[in-house]
């Protein structure tokens, strides 16, 4: 049986991991799949990439690193992704994964001009999202969790914009048939979001933001889980049609 490759490009804080698990745990849980259906590829530690024919889908996790640092493991991952896009393997890049996918396909990543975007924000799908397999049927405004200081400044050529927020015009895009980048964190819950705000309290205040107000606005939302489970369904349906 083919497995879903979870490309691990970072880890959460030890203080959070000990209680809640790590990025890949949250993603697998949100997708509603068994751990045995996933293959964790820790590229930071030098794990080799799987053969494309061996996997049914790809998820790229978030990270505390920056795409613009161009670390060797990151650039190797970026070089591996275009062939997967070309081969129509379903891909979901989350936060760092979103930025890395954009970088790999010719977009530009850099510091968000507005600074850090943390907490729970309103996501606005574009009209193009109405017929998108991942976003179709979602409301015109939905709450999602965000935690980033860098963004996709320019989308890759031929990318289709699917969603934006007040601080980030490129919250989601589609490349080809089934390669999605999403800047927000569908795997986060409000507790995780608050932990990140508390951890970066000083940095947020230095940018003129109010951490307490951001915490107050943190709220649970069903949309992240629905998006992850829908992505898992897309993978299953494509497998069944082969």
- Provide the greatest CA pair distance for the chain: 52
Give the tens place of pLDDT for each residue, 117-152.
999 999 999 999 999 999 999 999 999 999 999 999
Of 98, 170, 185, 195, catalytic: 185
207 is catalytic: no
Residues 92 and 59 sit within 8 Å (Cβ to Cβ): yes
95 is catalytic: yes
Q: What is the pTM of this model?
A: 0.97
Cα distance between residue 128 and residue 136, in whole Å: 9
Residue 104: pLDDT band by 50, 70, 90 thresholds?
very high
Give the tens place of pLDDT for each residue, 224-235.
999 999 999 999
Find the domain containing 62 and state its range.
3-241
Q: What is the overall mean pLDDT for the chain?
A: 97
Percent of the chain scoring above 70 in pLDDT:
100
- CATH number of domain containing 209: 3.40.50.880
At 83 the pLDDT is 98
Residue 242 has pLDDT above 80, yes or no: no
185 is catalytic: yes
Q: How far is residue 30 from each of residues 9, 27, 210, 229, 242, measured CA to CA in Å?
A: 18, 5, 30, 6, 25
Of 24, 37, 44, 95, catalytic: 95
DSSP letter at 119?
E
When divided into structural domains, the chain yields a total of 1
Of 147, 187, 195, 218, catalytic: 187
Cα distance between residue 101 and residue 50, in whole Å: 17
Structure tokens at 197: 């705000």
């Amino acid at each position: 049986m083919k497995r879903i490759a979870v490309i691990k490009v970072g880890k959460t804080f030890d203080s959070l991991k000990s209680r809640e698990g790590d990025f890949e745990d949250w993603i697998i849980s949100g997708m509603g799949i068994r751990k045995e259906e996933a293959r964790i590829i820790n590229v930071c530690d030098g794990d080799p990439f799987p053969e494309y024919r061996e996997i049914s889908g790809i998820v790229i996790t978030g990270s505390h690193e920056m795409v613009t640092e161009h670390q060797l493991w990151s650039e190797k991952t970026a070089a591996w992704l275009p062939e997967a896009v070309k081969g129509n393997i379903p891909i979901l890049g989350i936060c760092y994964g979103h930025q890395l996918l954009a970088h790999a396909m010719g977009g530009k990543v850099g510091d968000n001009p507005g600074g850090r975007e943390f907490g729970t924000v309103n996501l606005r799908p574009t009209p193009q999202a109405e017929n998108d397999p991942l976003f179709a049927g979602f409301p015109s405004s939905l709450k999602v969790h965000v935690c980033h200081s860098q963004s996709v400044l320019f989308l890759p050529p031929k990318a289709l914009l699917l969603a934006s927020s007040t601080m980030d015009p490129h919250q989601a895009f589609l490349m080809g048939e089934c390669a999605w980048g999403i800047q927000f964190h569908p795997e986060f819950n409000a507790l995780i979001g608050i932990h990140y705000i508390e951890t970066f309290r000083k940095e947020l205040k230095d940018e003129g933001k109010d951490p307490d107000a951001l915490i107050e606005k943190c709220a649970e939302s069903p949309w992240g889980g629905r998006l992850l489970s829908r992505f898992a369904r897309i993978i299953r349906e494509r497998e069944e049609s082969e």
